[in-house]
Amino acid sequence: MTILRAFWRFLVGVKDFLVLMLLLLFFVGLWSALNSRSGSVSVPDGGALVLALDGAIVDQGTESGAFDFATGNNVGGEKQMRDILGAIDKAREDGRIKGLVLDLDTFVGAGEANLQAIGQALAKFRKAGKPVHAFATAYTDAGYYLAAHADKIWISPLGAVLVSGPGGANLYFRDALAKLDIDINVFKVGTYKAAVEPFTREDASPEAEAASQALVDSLWATWLADVERARPATDLANFVATLSTRVPAAGGDQAKVALAAKLVDAIASRSEFDAAMVKLFGEGKPNRFGSYAGIGLDRYLAATRPVVPESGAAVGVVYVTGDIVDGEAPRGTAGGTTIARAIAEATSNDDIKALVVRVDSGGGSVLASEEIRQALLGAKAKGLPVVASFGPVAASGGYWVATAADEIFAQPSTITGSIGVFAIIPTFNRSLADLGIDSDGVKTTPYSGEPDVVRGLGPETRVLLQASVEDIYRRFTTIVGAARKLPLAEVDRIGQGRVWAGTTALKLKLVDKMGDLDAAVAAAGAKAGLKGDIRVVAVEKAATPFEQFFASFAPNDEAEEQARDPYAKLISASRLHLLAAIGDVRALANGPVMQAACLECAGMGSPRIGRARAGGEALLALGTRRP
């Protein structure tokens, strides 16, 4: 009887599971049908496009699926650049849209190159005679950059403008690893290849520090010039230099300090700002952003999406975003096989006449970088022009990929270069000995059991690893030299793992022109002989109906719970950087041995929410293992 009862419970469980799956399929189908009808979302006539930029702005959002949703691990907190730029561009010509509101209260940030592209789109929007208003409690660097492109900047009475400039602390693990008796074996080429320094030093080397200082100084100069050009009445450099004396003199009221310095135009509570927007755009249904007539980003994109899918000649945009890894990977991470397969499918699509490879990556696996490059070369062999567009970061493996392009576009603040290679292998012979664990064995050759993480690397293996790294570096510099028509000696001089801002990279002939993604698309279209407005097709792993379904129900709790007061917002950014750095350590431990990666570059680019989540998971796992 016990066996029969157990079997019956099993059958009931199977039945319940099948019923649940049928219900899920029904609701997915219903959701798909409803979302295919763009007319179901109406745009308020005379209202505002409201860009509530919760979280980070990235080139390609991190993929979330049913499992992530069920476990509460959906990434969220990201807006895609293409969506923001597309919405601003459509709204500029949309007679129903009267203006634009930038809600920056929970904005985490974006890479500087992406900020520049959005700033340019906002300038065009204002030129069309449509006003832009910005509101936030606390404006940090990225938020203030966007706000500077508004007609009017509003700030909460309890708010502040806290501009700090690029830079900050990095983590160094040498002493901690020494206490754990873990040896980190590093093989590298490149004087400035600082990615391995957190494991071998307690601070940055003089060479790495000098290169990083030159980079952040260049980024800061570009940021200041852009902001002061957009808002000429401000003197940001002087404001930052004298902030510690201005705030005490104003009794600690930082909102008044910002107003007196002409960094903002009005001090108002959220309800007062809402009332002002009602006067400007009219009364609307109560929304999260307020009661004025307006429409958010996702709803506006749904309302303006073509009912019939477009067809005809197009330029395909290949996204190489995040860490470059071997094999398959979800969107937001550049899986070599995933991207190569997407490129192969694009080349078989008769509508796609040219490709743009959009890079926002600090690199990663050498093999995956080469796999993507070969796929792009295959597209060129079939007659498709290939143009590269650099976002916030195009370094190491990200630059390796771009060498397949006929032409490279970058933004002035694009972090470019880092032509260098390293290999890293941890060994645990000393830590195991401390636990009383010994090892012994026999070999048939000096390479039996190598690389041996238990007993340590043999001298012959060390020679092979260093030679392999040097060989890959020679291949890297040879590829760059051939692609950029530069002598190898010159590539080696500007290489060595060093990174450059886009303006410097242009002078060094690492890129061809300054320009955003639109400029690269236009160039690719011209090479393919396309005329007029160019249709753009995203060449990426497609989202399944299941993913779209669960993403549509992803909670907005993160945005609601995110700290808004000035210093908490700065601490949140610092915490994100810390968790991402821990995620980097986890990735290096689990990733390929041979890497063309620039971790310090990635940390200066787009906020890495996905990598920060990986770091948080690593800390959680570590905490649960403690007695």
Of the candidates 212, 396, 418, 606, the residue annotated as catalytic is: 396
Q: What is the Cα–Cα distance from 53 to 155, expressed in whole angstroms?
A: 16
Strands 415-417 and 499-501: antiparallel
Give the tokens for residue 600.
């310090």
Give the tokens for residue 164.
């700090």
Q: What is the Cα–Cα distance from 435 to 149, expressed in whole angstroms?
A: 60
Query: Is 431 considered catalytic here?
Result: no
Of the candidates 188, 193, 541, 569, the residue annotated as catalytic is: 193
Compute the CA torsion angle 210, 211, 212, 213 (nearest 10 deg). Answer: 50
Q: What is the Cα–Cα distance from 7 to 9, expressed in whole angstroms?
A: 5
Strand partners, 188: 422
Q: Give start and end residues of each alpha helix (H) in 305-413.
A: 336-347, 366-381, 397-402
Query: Is 509 considered catalytic here?
Result: no
Q: Give start and end residues of each alpha helix (H) in 411-529.
A: 429-434, 459-484, 488-494, 502-507, 517-527
Q: Give start and end residues of each alpha helix (H) in 536-607.
A: 545-552, 557-561, 566-590, 599-602
Instruction: Give the single-character DSSP code of 57.
Output: E
Amino acid type, 411: Q
Helix then strand count (H, E) for the chain reads: 25, 25
φ/ψ bin of 331: left (φ > 0), alpha (ψ from -120 to 50), beta (otherwise): beta
Q: Which residues, 6+ apart, have CB-to-CB distance to 96 below 8 Å?
A: 43, 44, 45, 46, 47
Q: Which residues, 6+ apart, have CB-to-CB distance to 229 below 8 Å?
A: none
CA angle 112, 117, 120 (to 5 degrees): 125
Q: What is the Cα–Cα distance from 613 to 120, expressed in whole angstroms?
A: 31
The catalytic residues are 193, 396
